[in-house]
Amino acid sequence: MAYKSKQTQDYGDDIEFDPKASTFKDLIMLHYNRCIKAMSVEFRGGYYTKAQGKDGMEKEIYISDTREIFSNSILALAIMIKPKYDEEMKKKYKEYKDKLIEIKQTFMEESSPSEDIILGDAFYESEEDRMYLETYKQKKLELHIELFEEVSDLLGRKNYLTIGEAIY
Domain ranges of the chain: 9-157
Q: What is the pLDDT of residue 11?
A: 36
What are the DSSP E strand ranges found in 35-155?
Answer: 47-52, 58-63
The fraction of the chain above a pLDDT of 70, given in percent, is: 80
Q: Which of 12, 40, 13, 17 is nearest to 3 (CA)?
A: 17
Packing angle, helices 66-80 and 127-157, rounded to 10: 40
Q: Which of 137, 143, 136, 139 is nearest to 109 (CA)?
A: 136
Backbone dihedral angles phi then psi of residue 130, each to the nearest 5 degrees: -65, -35
- pTM of the entire structure? 0.78
Q: What is the pLDDT of residue 109?
A: 86
> pLDDT grade, residue 24 (50/70/90)?
confident
What mean pLDDT do residues 138-155 have?
97
What mean pLDDT do residues 36-55 have?
90
Any bridge partners for residue 9, and if so which? 17
> pLDDT grade, residue 155 (50/70/90)?
very high
What mean pLDDT do residues 37-60 have?
89
What mean pLDDT do residues 33-41 have?
94
Type of residue at 4: K
Q: What is the pLDDT of residue 133?
A: 86
Between 84 and 130, the higher pLDDT residue = 84
Between 152 and 111, the higher pLDDT residue = 152
> pLDDT grade, residue 23 (50/70/90)?
confident
Q: By the 8 A CB rule, do 35 and 78 touch?
A: no
Q: What whole-number distance in Å separates Cα of residue 20 and Cα of residue 123? A: 45
> pLDDT grade, residue 53 (50/70/90)?
confident
Q: What whole-number distance in Å separates Cα of residue 44 and Cα of residue 40? A: 12
